[in-house]
Amino acid sequence: MGTAPAAPASPNASEAPNPTLPIAPTSRPEPPSAAPSPAEAPPSIADKRPEPPAGDTPAADTPAADTSAADTPAADTPAAEPPAAESPSADSPGADTTAADTPAADTPAAEPPAAEPPAAEPPDPVPSDAPTVTVSLTFDDTYQEQREAAAILEAHGLRGTFYVNSPRLHRSSARPSENAYLSIADALGLQERGHDVGGHTLTHASLTDVPESERVREILGDRAQLTRLGLQARSFAYPYGHVESDPDRSLGRRVLDIARGSGYTSARDTNGFSLEGCDPGPESLPPTDPFLLRSVRSVNEPPEGAERLVPPDTAATLLGWLDHAADCGGGWLPLVFHHLRDDCSAPDGPAGYCFDFAELDRLGASLASGMRCPGADAARCYRIRVASVTAAIAGSEIDGSEIGGSELASAPEVPGVGNPSLERTFDSGETECIQRTGASATTVFSRSTLARTGAASERLAIAAPFQAAAELGISRDYGECASFVSAGRAYDLSLFYRAAPEAAAPRLRIATYRLTSDYTWLPWATGAAFSAQSPGSWVRVSFTTAAVPEGTIAVSFGLRQESAGTINVDDFDAAAAD
């Protein structure tokens, strides 16, 4: 069972920003200056669903909500027990509000009444030995509608964990009109309002299917970029839940081992808790393995071969999962959400992995009560604690070592490019992460089985008479394929090429590009032109950049062909030169 499939960004020439045409810059909103008063808390969806907060407008918190940082356990203490029905508040229908409604100036003077003893606290309906179920509301894949989900949680005094992909944050910040993903400002706003924001890889890759170098780049490179954007990024979620089935040692270190050394304090799976019994049961606190946090499955995950789950999961379904966890003695239950809509059954809605906003509101109201007695059976009552993933494990110890502490682990930069050996393709058959530019009547691009490593390479053939230069390079995108870089550092960029022996050796040169902070891809530096060497053999060509200018997010590069001939390219790489 896995995380909702995310359509890979198509970093081909048609989608990548034109290197000479700037993308409209986007300004990041200033962070909220102050939280609104409790009286401004959004109403329940039964009255009016709260508007999702804009990047510079914090959502109001309910009076009980603690908006401290997501890593502070106090922010996720259990909701207060509801008062007994016989003790109405001043706002309840049965309360006497005369004094509150009558101006003090119109009230005759009178001796103050004798002080009454304080009313006794209503008895706790949950037995002292009742289990506790800790719930973490987690949201994957950086979808824009999760802003509204956060506002619904906040209306109930709850906070969640949002697993994001840093290139999608950049993509939305560069193209706000597309409105598909959360922006950088959105993610920072979530964190400022007490939500937990964690990592979910650069490209939502199936980590068990890629080699070690790409696993490291996907996990550690994404975390490095998130922390650079100002996000704490303490928790991680495996795309598709692909972590346990990892038998191919030829790909290098296990995904689990890389995650453990990534600087994250935990990693959530998308399965592991059986609803058929209690073996295995819900996750424990502290967890048995913080890098294999168990859950049930993704909410509204379709059965294999189906487009959607029928009947769909509702708030009642998920509360049933909590009931089962309580029957197993309690524990920790992360819930995994993806898409959210007003009506997931609408024809234009996602086919699967979708949860209605109204159902989320019903779930939030139930969780905020802090307790539950299934079937009104007092013997089955249990307590509910809602906590972000980071807050749930904060201060826990495993084998004498603290996990989830307050100190953030370092997040060193991880240069590299996506799909460096060109093995993966889109459904269209085009190679992932390759950008073809310079098409003309005499130019032919194709995918080839003639490879230096693996099973494929890219081929460029320019017939005589030569008309225009053409180029094969790494997609100029938002970090899915291009390499994130640091200002002031130099980088070694390299690839392998093979010139066809039956044709004249073409003239070649390395070309580089950089993505600026206003999301414009600009041509950068080019290497000296040279004639292809050793036709019929693979040859490595490299280029060391100058120090990266300030205001640069990422770099890309490729091999430009400037005369007739045929070449194949394979095995791209980017590494720090110092």
Residue ranges in the chain modelled with pLDDT below 70: 1-124, 399-400, 404-406
Say if residue 332 is exposed, middle or buried (CB neighbours under 10 Å; 0-12, 13-18, 19+).
buried
Report residue 23 as tokens.
Answer: 């993308």
Q: Return the CATH number of the domain spanning residue range 434-576.
A: 2.60.120.260
Supply the pLDDT for residue 315: 98
The pLDDT of residue 53: 52
Whole-number Å distance between alpha carbons of 36 and 52: 14
pLDDT at 356: 98
Residue 400, classed as helix, strand or coil, is: coil
| The pLDDT value given to residue 404 | 65
**CA distance between the termini of the chain:** 42
The angle at the Cα of 394, spanning 393 to 397, to the nearest 5 degrees, equals 75
Residues 450, 456, 461: CA angle, nearest 5 degrees: 60
- Three-state DSSP class for residue 323: helix
Q: Which pairing describes strands 539-544 and 470-474: parallel, antiparallel, or unpaired?
A: unpaired
- Amino acid at position 234, single letter: R
Taking residue 105's Cβ as centre, other Cβ atoms within 10 Å add up to 5
pLDDT of residue 272: 87
pLDDT at 271: 87
Please state which architecture CATH assigns to domain 131-395: Alpha-Beta Barrel (3.20)
Max CA distance (Å), the chain: 111
Q: Which pLDDT does position 124 carry in this prediction?
A: 65
Query: What number of helices (H) and strands (E) belong to the chain?
Result: 10, 25
pTM of the model as a whole:
0.80
Residue with structure tokens 């110890």?
397
Q: In this predicted model, what pLDDT tens digit does every residue of 350-361 receive, in sequence order?
A: 989 999 999 999
Each residue of 134-156: pLDDT tens digit? Answer: 999 999 999 999 999 999 999 99
**Cβ distance 282 to 273 under 8 Å?**
yes
Q: Which residues of 558-575 are buried (b: 16+ CB within 10 A; e: fewer)?
A: bbbbbbbbbbbbbbbbbe
The ranges of the chain annotated as CATH 3.20.20.370 are: 131-395
- Tokens describing residue 158: 């709850």
